[in-house]
Structure 1
Amino acid sequence: MNKHNKTAVLLAALPLMFSSLASAQTQAEKDIDKYREMIADGNPADLWDAKGEALWKKKTGPKNASLEQCDLGLGPGVVKGAYVSLPRYFADANKVMDLEVRLSYCMKTLQGIDVKDQDYNKGDHKNIIALATYVAAASQGMPVNVPQSHPEEKRMYETGKIAFFYRAGPYDFSCATCHNADDKRIRLQGLPNLTKNEPAGRAFTSWPAYRVSNAQLWPMQKRIDDCLRLQRFPAPKFGSEATIALSVYMGVNGKGVKSLAPAIKR
Protein backbone atom coordinates (compact mmCIF):
# COMPACT_ATOMS: atom_id res chain seq x y z
CA MET A 1 0.00 0.00 0.00
CA ASN A 2 1.48 3.34 -1.02
CA LYS A 3 1.71 6.44 1.12
CA HIS A 4 -1.41 8.11 -0.28
CA ASN A 5 -3.54 4.99 0.18
CA LYS A 6 -2.44 4.68 3.84
CA THR A 7 -3.41 8.29 4.44
CA ALA A 8 -6.81 7.74 2.86
CA VAL A 9 -7.46 4.67 5.03
CA LEU A 10 -6.46 6.58 8.18
CA LEU A 11 -8.74 9.48 7.33
CA ALA A 12 -11.61 7.11 6.65
CA ALA A 13 -11.08 5.43 10.03
CA LEU A 14 -10.99 8.65 12.06
CA PRO A 15 -14.80 9.09 12.34
CA LEU A 16 -15.10 5.55 13.68
CA MET A 17 -12.31 6.18 16.17
CA PHE A 18 -13.92 9.37 17.49
CA SER A 19 -17.32 7.68 17.57
CA SER A 20 -15.91 4.86 19.69
CA LEU A 21 -14.23 7.37 22.01
CA ALA A 22 -17.47 9.33 22.44
CA SER A 23 -19.35 6.12 23.13
CA ALA A 24 -16.79 5.10 25.77
CA GLN A 25 -17.07 8.52 27.43
CA THR A 26 -20.85 8.29 27.46
CA GLN A 27 -20.69 4.88 29.12
CA ALA A 28 -18.15 6.19 31.63
CA GLU A 29 -20.47 9.08 32.50
CA LYS A 30 -23.35 6.65 33.02
CA ASP A 31 -21.20 4.49 35.28
CA ILE A 32 -20.13 7.53 37.32
CA ASP A 33 -23.75 8.66 37.66
CA LYS A 34 -24.68 5.16 38.85
CA TYR A 35 -21.84 5.26 41.37
CA ARG A 36 -23.05 8.61 42.68
CA GLU A 37 -26.56 7.24 43.10
CA MET A 38 -25.20 4.28 45.07
CA ILE A 39 -23.17 6.39 47.50
CA ALA A 40 -25.82 9.10 47.88
CA ASP A 41 -27.85 6.86 50.18
CA GLY A 42 -26.48 7.60 53.63
CA ASN A 43 -24.51 10.72 52.69
CA PRO A 44 -22.13 11.51 55.61
CA ALA A 45 -23.03 15.17 55.04
CA ASP A 46 -26.21 14.36 56.98
CA LEU A 47 -24.06 14.19 60.12
CA TRP A 48 -22.72 17.67 59.41
CA ASP A 49 -26.28 18.86 58.84
CA ALA A 50 -27.31 17.56 62.28
CA LYS A 51 -24.25 19.14 63.90
CA GLY A 52 -24.98 22.43 62.17
CA GLU A 53 -28.55 22.48 63.46
CA ALA A 54 -27.29 21.90 67.00
CA LEU A 55 -24.73 24.70 66.62
CA TRP A 56 -27.40 27.04 65.23
CA LYS A 57 -29.53 26.58 68.34
CA LYS A 58 -26.76 26.37 70.94
CA LYS A 59 -26.08 29.34 73.21
CA THR A 60 -22.33 29.89 73.28
CA GLY A 61 -19.53 32.43 73.02
CA PRO A 62 -18.78 35.48 75.20
CA LYS A 63 -22.36 36.69 74.69
CA ASN A 64 -23.89 33.27 75.47
CA ALA A 65 -26.23 33.51 72.51
CA SER A 66 -27.47 31.21 69.75
CA LEU A 67 -27.57 32.01 66.03
CA GLU A 68 -31.35 31.83 65.89
CA GLN A 69 -31.54 35.58 65.29
CA CYS A 70 -28.98 35.50 62.49
CA ASP A 71 -30.35 37.21 59.37
CA LEU A 72 -29.24 35.28 56.29
CA GLY A 73 -31.12 37.63 54.01
CA LEU A 74 -34.72 36.56 54.51
CA GLY A 75 -35.19 37.86 58.05
CA PRO A 76 -33.81 36.94 61.49
CA GLY A 77 -33.79 33.19 62.02
CA VAL A 78 -35.15 32.27 58.58
CA VAL A 79 -33.11 29.38 57.20
CA LYS A 80 -35.30 27.84 54.50
CA GLY A 81 -34.58 29.49 51.15
CA ALA A 82 -31.53 31.39 52.39
CA TYR A 83 -28.93 29.16 50.73
CA VAL A 84 -30.36 29.59 47.23
CA SER A 85 -30.50 33.39 47.59
CA LEU A 86 -26.86 33.90 48.60
CA PRO A 87 -24.46 35.66 48.03
CA ARG A 88 -26.35 38.93 48.49
CA TYR A 89 -25.85 42.48 49.78
CA PHE A 90 -26.29 43.06 53.52
CA ALA A 91 -26.84 46.65 54.63
CA ASP A 92 -25.64 46.01 58.20
CA ALA A 93 -22.23 44.97 56.88
CA ASN A 94 -22.35 47.18 53.76
CA LYS A 95 -21.04 44.41 51.55
CA VAL A 96 -22.01 41.35 49.54
CA MET A 97 -21.59 38.17 51.58
CA ASP A 98 -21.79 34.49 50.78
CA LEU A 99 -23.18 31.94 53.24
CA GLU A 100 -19.90 31.17 55.00
CA VAL A 101 -18.95 34.81 55.49
CA ARG A 102 -22.44 35.73 56.68
CA LEU A 103 -22.34 32.93 59.25
CA SER A 104 -18.95 34.21 60.42
CA TYR A 105 -20.44 37.71 60.72
CA CYS A 106 -23.36 36.42 62.81
CA MET A 107 -21.03 34.45 65.06
CA LYS A 108 -19.09 37.64 65.77
CA THR A 109 -22.00 40.04 66.19
CA LEU A 110 -24.44 37.75 68.01
CA GLN A 111 -22.12 35.42 69.94
CA GLY A 112 -18.92 37.41 70.22
CA ILE A 113 -16.92 34.69 68.46
CA ASP A 114 -14.29 36.16 66.13
CA VAL A 115 -13.44 33.54 63.55
CA LYS A 116 -9.72 34.16 63.33
CA ASP A 117 -8.76 30.63 62.25
CA GLN A 118 -8.90 30.84 58.47
CA ASP A 119 -7.61 27.32 57.85
CA TYR A 120 -10.13 24.98 56.30
CA ASN A 121 -11.76 22.45 58.62
CA LYS A 122 -10.03 23.73 61.77
CA GLY A 123 -11.25 25.55 64.85
CA ASP A 124 -14.24 27.83 64.40
CA HIS A 125 -14.17 27.38 60.63
CA LYS A 126 -15.05 23.72 61.14
CA ASN A 127 -18.26 24.91 62.80
CA ILE A 128 -18.97 27.23 59.87
CA ILE A 129 -18.84 24.22 57.51
CA ALA A 130 -21.39 22.37 59.65
CA LEU A 131 -23.63 25.45 59.86
CA ALA A 132 -23.40 25.99 56.09
CA THR A 133 -24.44 22.37 55.53
CA TYR A 134 -27.46 22.82 57.82
CA VAL A 135 -28.55 25.98 56.01
CA ALA A 136 -28.00 24.42 52.58
CA ALA A 137 -30.01 21.30 53.45
CA ALA A 138 -33.01 23.46 54.36
CA SER A 139 -33.16 24.71 50.74
CA GLN A 140 -32.67 21.37 48.96
CA GLY A 141 -34.87 21.24 45.87
CA MET A 142 -35.55 24.99 45.86
CA PRO A 143 -34.66 27.11 42.78
CA VAL A 144 -31.56 29.31 42.79
CA ASN A 145 -32.41 32.99 43.04
CA VAL A 146 -29.23 34.99 43.72
CA PRO A 147 -30.35 38.66 43.74
CA GLN A 148 -29.08 41.39 41.43
CA SER A 149 -31.13 44.35 42.60
CA HIS A 150 -28.44 46.24 44.57
CA PRO A 151 -25.57 47.99 42.72
CA GLU A 152 -23.02 46.06 44.80
CA GLU A 153 -24.61 42.76 43.75
CA LYS A 154 -24.34 43.78 40.11
CA ARG A 155 -20.73 44.89 40.61
CA MET A 156 -19.85 41.55 42.19
CA TYR A 157 -21.36 39.69 39.25
CA GLU A 158 -19.23 41.68 36.81
CA THR A 159 -16.17 41.18 39.04
CA GLY A 160 -16.86 37.44 39.11
CA LYS A 161 -17.17 37.39 35.32
CA ILE A 162 -13.80 39.14 34.96
CA ALA A 163 -12.23 36.72 37.45
CA PHE A 164 -13.74 33.74 35.62
CA PHE A 165 -12.07 34.68 32.32
CA TYR A 166 -8.85 36.09 33.81
CA ARG A 167 -5.80 34.13 32.63
CA ALA A 168 -2.65 34.08 34.75
CA GLY A 169 -0.22 31.87 36.60
CA PRO A 170 2.52 29.59 35.27
CA TYR A 171 0.04 27.66 33.07
CA ASP A 172 -1.80 30.76 31.81
CA PHE A 173 -5.05 29.25 33.08
CA SER A 174 -8.39 30.82 33.87
CA CYS A 175 -11.57 29.31 35.28
CA ALA A 176 -12.88 29.47 31.72
CA THR A 177 -10.03 27.25 30.50
CA CYS A 178 -11.94 24.30 31.96
CA HIS A 179 -15.47 25.64 32.35
CA ASN A 180 -16.59 27.65 29.31
CA ALA A 181 -17.44 24.91 26.79
CA ASP A 182 -19.53 21.76 26.60
CA ASP A 183 -18.22 18.20 26.89
CA LYS A 184 -14.88 19.02 28.50
CA ARG A 185 -13.32 16.63 30.98
CA ILE A 186 -10.21 15.78 32.95
CA ARG A 187 -9.79 12.01 32.78
CA LEU A 188 -13.27 10.73 33.73
CA GLN A 189 -14.27 13.96 35.49
CA GLY A 190 -16.78 15.99 33.51
CA LEU A 191 -16.22 19.77 33.58
CA PRO A 192 -19.47 21.76 33.63
CA ASN A 193 -19.89 24.75 31.35
CA LEU A 194 -20.46 27.45 33.95
CA THR A 195 -21.52 30.02 31.36
CA LYS A 196 -24.75 28.03 30.80
CA ASN A 197 -27.78 27.95 33.08
CA GLU A 198 -28.28 24.28 33.95
CA PRO A 199 -24.63 23.27 34.49
CA ALA A 200 -23.90 26.52 36.36
CA GLY A 201 -26.85 25.95 38.68
CA ARG A 202 -25.92 22.34 39.34
CA ALA A 203 -22.30 23.27 40.07
CA PHE A 204 -23.33 26.20 42.26
CA THR A 205 -25.65 24.04 44.38
CA SER A 206 -23.33 21.02 44.61
CA TRP A 207 -21.47 22.47 47.59
CA PRO A 208 -21.27 21.82 50.51
CA ALA A 209 -20.46 18.27 49.46
CA TYR A 210 -18.91 15.27 51.17
CA ARG A 211 -15.87 14.03 49.24
CA VAL A 212 -15.48 10.29 49.53
CA SER A 213 -11.90 10.37 48.22
CA ASN A 214 -10.59 12.37 51.20
CA ALA A 215 -13.41 11.93 53.75
CA GLN A 216 -13.91 15.69 54.01
CA LEU A 217 -16.88 17.99 53.60
CA TRP A 218 -16.14 20.93 51.33
CA PRO A 219 -18.14 24.17 51.27
CA MET A 220 -18.11 26.45 48.22
CA GLN A 221 -15.14 28.56 49.33
CA LYS A 222 -13.01 25.44 49.70
CA ARG A 223 -14.08 24.25 46.25
CA ILE A 224 -13.06 27.55 44.68
CA ASP A 225 -9.84 27.58 46.70
CA ASP A 226 -8.94 24.16 45.29
CA CYS A 227 -9.65 25.28 41.72
CA LEU A 228 -7.32 28.23 42.22
CA ARG A 229 -4.72 25.84 43.62
CA LEU A 230 -4.92 23.74 40.46
CA GLN A 231 -4.41 26.93 38.44
CA ARG A 232 -1.32 27.58 40.62
CA PHE A 233 -2.82 30.85 41.84
CA PRO A 234 -2.02 32.18 45.34
CA ALA A 235 -4.36 30.79 48.00
CA PRO A 236 -7.18 33.26 48.71
CA LYS A 237 -8.01 34.37 52.23
CA PHE A 238 -11.25 33.17 53.77
CA GLY A 239 -14.03 35.48 52.63
CA SER A 240 -11.99 37.15 49.88
CA GLU A 241 -13.94 39.25 47.39
CA ALA A 242 -12.65 37.12 44.52
CA THR A 243 -14.19 33.90 45.87
CA ILE A 244 -17.50 35.59 46.65
CA ALA A 245 -17.60 37.26 43.23
CA LEU A 246 -17.07 33.90 41.52
CA SER A 247 -19.94 32.48 43.56
CA VAL A 248 -22.17 35.37 42.49
CA TYR A 249 -21.24 34.75 38.85
CA MET A 250 -22.15 31.05 39.08
CA GLY A 251 -25.29 31.65 41.11
CA VAL A 252 -26.73 34.28 38.78
CA ASN A 253 -25.93 32.13 35.74
CA GLY A 254 -27.69 29.21 37.45
CA LYS A 255 -30.92 31.07 38.23
CA GLY A 256 -33.94 28.78 38.59
CA VAL A 257 -32.02 25.49 38.84
CA LYS A 258 -33.12 23.38 41.82
CA SER A 259 -30.58 23.03 44.63
CA LEU A 260 -28.73 19.75 45.14
CA ALA A 261 -26.80 20.54 48.33
CA PRO A 262 -25.59 18.95 50.44
CA ALA A 263 -24.20 16.61 47.81
CA ILE A 264 -21.72 13.76 47.74
CA LYS A 265 -18.69 13.51 45.45
CA ARG A 266 -16.15 10.83 44.66
Structure 2
Amino acid sequence: MKKIVFMLALAGLAATAANAQKSAAVLAIEEYRAMLADGNPSELFEAKGEDLWKQKRGPKNASLEQCDLGQGPGVVKAVFVTLPRYFADTNRVQDLESRLLTCMESLQGFNAADIAKTPFGKDEQKNVTALATWIAAASRDMKFNLPQVHAKEQAAYEVGKRLFFQRGGPHDFSCASCHGADNWRIRLQDLPNLTKNPGDGVGFAAWPAYRVSNGQMWSMQLRLNDCYRQQRFPYPGFGSDATVALGVYLGVNSQGSKSAAPAIKR
Protein backbone atom coordinates (compact mmCIF):
# COMPACT_ATOMS: atom_id res chain seq x y z
CA MET A 1 0.00 0.00 0.00
CA LYS A 2 2.80 2.42 0.91
CA LYS A 3 4.49 1.66 -2.40
CA ILE A 4 1.29 2.45 -4.29
CA VAL A 5 0.83 5.72 -2.39
CA PHE A 6 4.46 6.64 -3.09
CA MET A 7 4.05 5.93 -6.81
CA LEU A 8 0.86 7.98 -6.94
CA ALA A 9 2.64 10.84 -5.21
CA LEU A 10 5.46 10.69 -7.75
CA ALA A 11 2.95 10.69 -10.57
CA GLY A 12 1.26 13.72 -9.04
CA LEU A 13 4.55 15.56 -8.75
CA ALA A 14 5.43 14.72 -12.33
CA ALA A 15 2.06 16.00 -13.53
CA THR A 16 2.46 19.19 -11.51
CA ALA A 17 5.93 19.74 -12.94
CA ALA A 18 4.67 19.10 -16.47
CA ASN A 19 1.80 21.55 -15.99
CA ALA A 20 4.17 24.15 -14.58
CA GLN A 21 6.49 23.66 -17.53
CA LYS A 22 3.57 23.95 -19.93
CA SER A 23 2.31 27.10 -18.20
CA ALA A 24 5.76 28.66 -18.38
CA ALA A 25 6.01 27.81 -22.06
CA VAL A 26 2.55 29.29 -22.75
CA LEU A 27 3.45 32.49 -20.91
CA ALA A 28 6.71 32.74 -22.83
CA ILE A 29 4.85 32.34 -26.14
CA GLU A 30 2.29 34.97 -25.15
CA GLU A 31 5.09 37.38 -24.19
CA TYR A 32 6.81 36.72 -27.52
CA ARG A 33 3.59 37.40 -29.42
CA ALA A 34 2.99 40.59 -27.46
CA MET A 35 6.46 41.84 -28.41
CA LEU A 36 5.82 40.97 -32.07
CA ALA A 37 2.53 42.86 -32.07
CA ASP A 38 4.31 46.07 -31.06
CA GLY A 39 4.94 47.66 -34.43
CA ASN A 40 3.16 45.18 -36.69
CA PRO A 41 4.55 45.60 -40.26
CA SER A 42 1.05 44.97 -41.60
CA GLU A 43 0.47 48.70 -41.10
CA LEU A 44 2.64 49.27 -44.18
CA PHE A 45 0.39 46.96 -46.21
CA GLU A 46 -2.68 48.71 -44.83
CA ALA A 47 -1.38 52.06 -46.09
CA LYS A 48 -0.62 50.57 -49.51
CA GLY A 49 -4.06 48.99 -49.67
CA GLU A 50 -5.83 52.26 -48.92
CA ASP A 51 -3.81 53.99 -51.62
CA LEU A 52 -4.63 51.26 -54.14
CA TRP A 53 -8.35 51.51 -53.32
CA LYS A 54 -8.41 55.21 -54.20
CA GLN A 55 -5.90 55.15 -57.04
CA LYS A 56 -7.07 55.18 -60.68
CA ARG A 57 -5.52 52.14 -62.30
CA GLY A 58 -5.95 49.51 -65.00
CA PRO A 59 -7.11 49.74 -68.62
CA LYS A 60 -10.18 51.71 -67.54
CA ASN A 61 -8.13 54.13 -65.40
CA ALA A 62 -10.60 53.85 -62.53
CA SER A 63 -10.43 53.44 -58.77
CA LEU A 64 -12.06 50.75 -56.63
CA GLU A 65 -14.12 53.25 -54.67
CA GLN A 66 -17.37 51.90 -56.17
CA CYS A 67 -16.52 48.28 -55.40
CA ASP A 68 -19.40 46.52 -53.63
CA LEU A 69 -18.06 44.16 -50.97
CA GLY A 70 -21.50 43.27 -49.68
CA GLN A 71 -22.63 46.41 -47.88
CA GLY A 72 -23.03 48.69 -50.89
CA PRO A 73 -20.65 50.44 -53.33
CA GLY A 74 -17.63 51.90 -51.60
CA VAL A 75 -18.46 50.62 -48.10
CA VAL A 76 -15.41 49.09 -46.42
CA LYS A 77 -16.14 49.22 -42.70
CA ALA A 78 -17.56 45.99 -41.24
CA VAL A 79 -17.59 44.10 -44.55
CA PHE A 80 -14.68 41.79 -43.67
CA VAL A 81 -16.55 40.09 -40.84
CA THR A 82 -19.41 39.15 -43.20
CA LEU A 83 -17.26 37.43 -45.84
CA PRO A 84 -17.41 35.01 -47.62
CA ARG A 85 -21.01 35.60 -48.72
CA TYR A 86 -23.27 35.28 -51.77
CA PHE A 87 -23.18 38.01 -54.45
CA ALA A 88 -26.06 38.21 -56.89
CA ASP A 89 -24.08 39.90 -59.68
CA THR A 90 -21.69 36.96 -59.97
CA ASN A 91 -24.17 34.33 -58.69
CA ARG A 92 -21.33 33.01 -56.52
CA VAL A 93 -20.25 32.86 -52.92
CA GLN A 94 -17.08 34.93 -52.74
CA ASP A 95 -14.47 35.72 -50.11
CA LEU A 96 -12.67 39.05 -49.86
CA GLU A 97 -9.88 38.25 -52.30
CA SER A 98 -12.08 36.73 -55.01
CA ARG A 99 -14.52 39.64 -54.67
CA LEU A 100 -11.66 42.10 -55.10
CA LEU A 101 -10.71 40.33 -58.33
CA THR A 102 -14.30 40.82 -59.56
CA CYS A 103 -14.12 44.55 -58.82
CA MET A 104 -10.66 44.92 -60.35
CA GLU A 105 -12.00 43.35 -63.55
CA SER A 106 -15.37 45.10 -63.76
CA LEU A 107 -14.29 48.54 -62.57
CA GLN A 108 -10.66 48.78 -63.63
CA GLY A 109 -10.48 46.45 -66.61
CA PHE A 110 -7.91 44.00 -65.24
CA ASN A 111 -8.12 40.33 -66.21
CA ALA A 112 -9.16 38.52 -63.02
CA ALA A 113 -8.14 35.10 -64.32
CA ASP A 114 -4.63 36.32 -65.12
CA ILE A 115 -4.25 37.83 -61.64
CA ALA A 116 -5.44 34.60 -60.05
CA LYS A 117 -2.77 32.67 -61.96
CA THR A 118 0.01 35.05 -60.92
CA PRO A 119 2.39 33.53 -58.31
CA PHE A 120 1.72 34.84 -54.83
CA GLY A 121 3.82 37.84 -53.88
CA LYS A 122 4.24 39.11 -57.42
CA ASP A 123 2.64 41.84 -59.49
CA GLU A 124 -1.10 42.30 -58.91
CA GLN A 125 -1.23 39.45 -56.37
CA LYS A 126 0.73 41.71 -54.01
CA ASN A 127 -1.84 44.43 -54.55
CA VAL A 128 -4.77 42.10 -53.80
CA THR A 129 -3.09 41.17 -50.50
CA ALA A 130 -2.52 44.82 -49.61
CA LEU A 131 -6.14 45.68 -50.40
CA ALA A 132 -7.37 42.75 -48.30
CA THR A 133 -5.16 43.87 -45.42
CA TRP A 134 -6.56 47.41 -45.43
CA ILE A 135 -10.16 46.24 -45.72
CA ALA A 136 -9.68 43.70 -42.92
CA ALA A 137 -8.28 46.43 -40.67
CA ALA A 138 -11.52 48.38 -41.05
CA SER A 139 -13.31 45.58 -39.16
CA ARG A 140 -10.81 45.01 -36.37
CA ASP A 141 -12.46 44.01 -33.07
CA MET A 142 -15.81 43.53 -34.80
CA LYS A 143 -17.61 40.20 -34.44
CA PHE A 144 -17.90 37.74 -37.30
CA ASN A 145 -21.43 37.39 -38.63
CA LEU A 146 -21.38 35.52 -41.93
CA PRO A 147 -24.78 35.22 -43.59
CA GLN A 148 -26.24 31.76 -44.10
CA VAL A 149 -29.53 32.75 -45.71
CA HIS A 150 -28.94 32.01 -49.39
CA ALA A 151 -28.97 28.37 -50.52
CA LYS A 152 -25.50 28.76 -52.04
CA GLU A 153 -24.12 30.05 -48.73
CA GLN A 154 -25.55 27.03 -46.96
CA ALA A 155 -24.18 24.69 -49.63
CA ALA A 156 -20.74 26.32 -49.38
CA TYR A 157 -20.70 25.66 -45.65
CA GLU A 158 -21.45 21.97 -46.16
CA VAL A 159 -18.84 21.66 -48.91
CA GLY A 160 -16.29 23.43 -46.71
CA LYS A 161 -17.06 21.07 -43.86
CA ARG A 162 -16.49 18.03 -46.05
CA LEU A 163 -13.22 19.48 -47.35
CA PHE A 164 -12.10 20.20 -43.79
CA PHE A 165 -12.45 16.53 -42.84
CA GLN A 166 -11.36 15.06 -46.18
CA ARG A 167 -8.24 12.92 -45.72
CA GLY A 168 -5.77 12.24 -48.50
CA GLY A 169 -2.27 12.68 -49.80
CA PRO A 170 0.82 10.63 -48.90
CA HIS A 171 0.34 11.27 -45.16
CA ASP A 172 -3.45 10.78 -45.13
CA PHE A 173 -3.91 14.24 -43.61
CA SER A 174 -6.93 16.51 -43.46
CA CYS A 175 -7.42 20.01 -42.05
CA ALA A 176 -8.94 18.28 -39.02
CA SER A 177 -5.69 16.34 -38.45
CA CYS A 178 -4.27 19.54 -36.94
CA HIS A 179 -7.35 21.61 -36.12
CA GLY A 180 -10.02 19.10 -35.15
CA ALA A 181 -9.81 19.00 -31.34
CA ASP A 182 -8.96 21.08 -28.28
CA ASN A 183 -5.52 21.55 -26.72
CA TRP A 184 -3.43 20.35 -29.64
CA ARG A 185 -0.08 21.84 -30.59
CA ILE A 186 2.95 21.23 -32.79
CA ARG A 187 6.12 21.94 -30.83
CA LEU A 188 5.32 25.34 -29.23
CA GLN A 189 2.65 26.26 -31.77
CA ASP A 190 -0.94 26.11 -30.52
CA LEU A 191 -3.40 24.51 -32.94
CA PRO A 192 -6.87 26.03 -32.45
CA ASN A 193 -9.90 23.81 -32.81
CA LEU A 194 -11.54 25.22 -35.94
CA THR A 195 -14.59 22.95 -35.85
CA LYS A 196 -16.14 25.43 -33.41
CA ASN A 197 -15.61 29.04 -32.32
CA PRO A 198 -11.93 29.04 -31.32
CA GLY A 199 -12.17 32.43 -29.61
CA ASP A 200 -11.41 36.07 -30.38
CA GLY A 201 -8.56 36.71 -32.76
CA VAL A 202 -7.75 33.02 -33.23
CA GLY A 203 -7.73 30.94 -36.41
CA PHE A 204 -9.91 32.44 -39.13
CA ALA A 205 -10.18 35.69 -37.17
CA ALA A 206 -6.42 36.37 -37.40
CA TRP A 207 -5.88 36.48 -41.17
CA PRO A 208 -4.58 38.39 -43.13
CA ALA A 209 -1.41 38.32 -41.02
CA TYR A 210 2.24 39.26 -41.34
CA ARG A 211 4.53 36.21 -41.17
CA VAL A 212 7.73 37.13 -39.34
CA SER A 213 9.44 33.89 -40.38
CA ASN A 214 9.39 34.79 -44.07
CA GLY A 215 8.73 38.53 -44.03
CA GLN A 216 5.51 38.26 -46.03
CA MET A 217 1.93 39.34 -45.66
CA TRP A 218 -0.40 36.37 -45.99
CA SER A 219 -4.06 36.56 -46.88
CA MET A 220 -6.51 33.79 -45.99
CA GLN A 221 -6.15 32.41 -49.51
CA LEU A 222 -2.41 31.83 -49.01
CA ARG A 223 -2.96 30.48 -45.49
CA LEU A 224 -5.28 27.81 -46.90
CA ASN A 225 -2.91 27.09 -49.77
CA ASP A 226 -0.08 26.52 -47.30
CA CYS A 227 -2.26 24.12 -45.33
CA TYR A 228 -2.73 22.10 -48.51
CA ARG A 229 1.02 22.22 -49.08
CA GLN A 230 1.63 20.78 -45.62
CA GLN A 231 -0.87 18.02 -46.40
CA ARG A 232 1.15 17.35 -49.59
CA PHE A 233 -1.82 18.26 -51.75
CA PRO A 234 -1.49 20.35 -54.94
CA TYR A 235 -2.26 24.04 -54.45
CA PRO A 236 -5.90 24.89 -55.16
CA GLY A 237 -6.54 27.78 -57.52
CA PHE A 238 -6.53 31.28 -56.06
CA GLY A 239 -10.10 32.19 -55.14
CA SER A 240 -11.28 28.69 -56.03
CA ASP A 241 -14.67 27.37 -54.96
CA ALA A 242 -12.82 24.96 -52.63
CA THR A 243 -10.91 27.62 -50.70
CA VAL A 244 -13.95 29.90 -50.56
CA ALA A 245 -16.05 27.02 -49.19
CA LEU A 246 -13.43 26.35 -46.53
CA GLY A 247 -13.55 30.04 -45.67
CA VAL A 248 -17.32 29.83 -45.24
CA TYR A 249 -17.01 26.82 -42.94
CA LEU A 250 -14.31 28.45 -40.81
CA GLY A 251 -16.02 31.84 -40.81
CA VAL A 252 -19.42 30.52 -39.76
CA ASN A 253 -17.74 28.46 -37.02
CA SER A 254 -16.11 31.70 -35.82
CA GLN A 255 -19.52 33.37 -35.41
CA GLY A 256 -19.36 35.94 -32.62
CA SER A 257 -15.59 36.00 -32.28
CA LYS A 258 -13.74 39.29 -32.74
CA SER A 259 -11.48 39.86 -35.70
CA ALA A 260 -7.81 40.54 -34.91
CA ALA A 261 -6.80 40.96 -38.56
CA PRO A 262 -4.39 42.07 -39.74
CA ALA A 263 -2.45 40.13 -37.13
CA ILE A 264 1.18 39.08 -36.82
CA LYS A 265 2.43 35.52 -36.75
CA ARG A 266 5.78 33.88 -36.13
What TM-score bracket applies, with the shorter chain setting the length? over 0.9
Secondary structure of 1:35 counterpart: helix
C-alpha displacement of 1:202: 2.3
Q: Does 1:17 align with 2:8?
A: no
Q: Does 1:83 align with 2:80?
A: yes
After superposing the two structures, state which structure 1 stretch, 46-55 or 7-16, moved more: 7-16
Q: How does 1:164-175 map to 2 (within 5 A)?
A: 164-175=164-175
Secondary structure of 2:202 counterpart: helix
**Contact 1:72/1:102 (CA < 8 Å) preserved in 2?**
yes
Give ranges in structure 2 of 5+ residues lacking alignment: none
CA offsets, 1:34-57, max 9 Å, x none? 111112121100000000000000
After superposing the two structures, state which structure 1 stretch, 200-209 or 9-18, moved more: 9-18
In structure 1, C-alpha distance between the alignment counterparts of 2:255 and 2:74, rounded to whole Å: 24
After superposing the two structures, state which structure 1 stretch, 40-49 or 30-39, moved more: 30-39
Secondary structure of 2:198 counterpart: helix
Alignment-derived partner of residue 209 in structure 1: 209
C-alpha displacement of 1:197: 1.3
In structure 1, C-alpha distance between the alignment counterparts of 2:232 and 2:145, rounded to whole Å: 32
Alignment-derived partner of residue 68 in structure 1: 65
**Contact 2:53/2:64 (CA < 8 Å) preserved in 1?**
yes
In structure 2, C-alpha distance between the alignment counterparts of 1:170 and 1:17, rounded to whole Å: 37
- Match for 1:261: what amino acid? A
In structure 1, C-alpha distance between the alignment counterparts of 2:253 and 2:86, rounded to whole Å: 17
Alignment-derived partner of residue 262 in structure 1: 262
In structure 1, C-alpha distance between the alignment counterparts of 2:170 and 2:5, rounded to whole Å: 40
Runs of 4+ residues over 4 Å off in structure 1: 5-12
Identity %: 58
**Contact 1:193/1:200 (CA < 8 Å) preserved in 2?**
no
Q: How does 1:85-234 map to 2 (within 5 A)?
A: 85-115=82-112, 116-117=114-115, 118=117, 119-199=119-199, 202-234=202-234
**Contact 1:212/1:264 (CA < 8 Å) preserved in 2?**
yes
In structure 2, C-alpha distance between the alignment counterparts of 1:105 and 1:167, rounded to whole Å: 32
- Match for 1:33: what amino acid? E
User: Could you say if the C-alpha distance between residues 126 and 14 of structure 1 is closer, same or farther in structure 2, counting changes exceeding 3 Å?
Assistant: same
In structure 1, C-alpha distance between the alignment counterparts of 2:24 and 2:6, rounded to whole Å: 28
User: Could you say if the C-alpha distance between residues 214 and 7 of structure 1 is closer, same or farther in structure 2, counting changes exceeding 3 Å?
Assistant: farther
After superposing the two structures, state which structure 1 stretch, 212-221 or 8-17, moved more: 8-17
TM-score, normalised on structure 1?
A: 0.93
Alignment-derived partner of residue 237 in structure 2: 237
- Match for 1:263: what amino acid? A
Secondary structure of 1:210 counterpart: strand
User: Could you say if the C-alpha distance between residues 132 and 189 of structure 1 is closer, same or farther in structure 2, counting changes exceeding 3 Å?
Assistant: same
**Contact 2:201/2:261 (CA < 8 Å) preserved in 1?**
no
In structure 2, C-alpha distance between the alignment counterparts of 1:170 and 1:15, rounded to whole Å: 40
In structure 2, C-alpha distance between the alignment counterparts of 1:238 and 1:196, rounded to whole Å: 25
User: Could you say if the C-alpha distance between residues 37 and 201 of structure 1 is closer, same or farther in structure 2, counting changes exceeding 3 Å?
Assistant: closer
Q: 1:47 aligns with which of 41, 44, 49?
A: 44
In structure 2, C-alpha distance between the alignment counterparts of 1:28 and 1:236, rounded to whole Å: 35
C-alpha displacement of 1:25: 2.0
C-alpha displacement of 1:11: 6.9
Secondary structure of 2:236 counterpart: coil
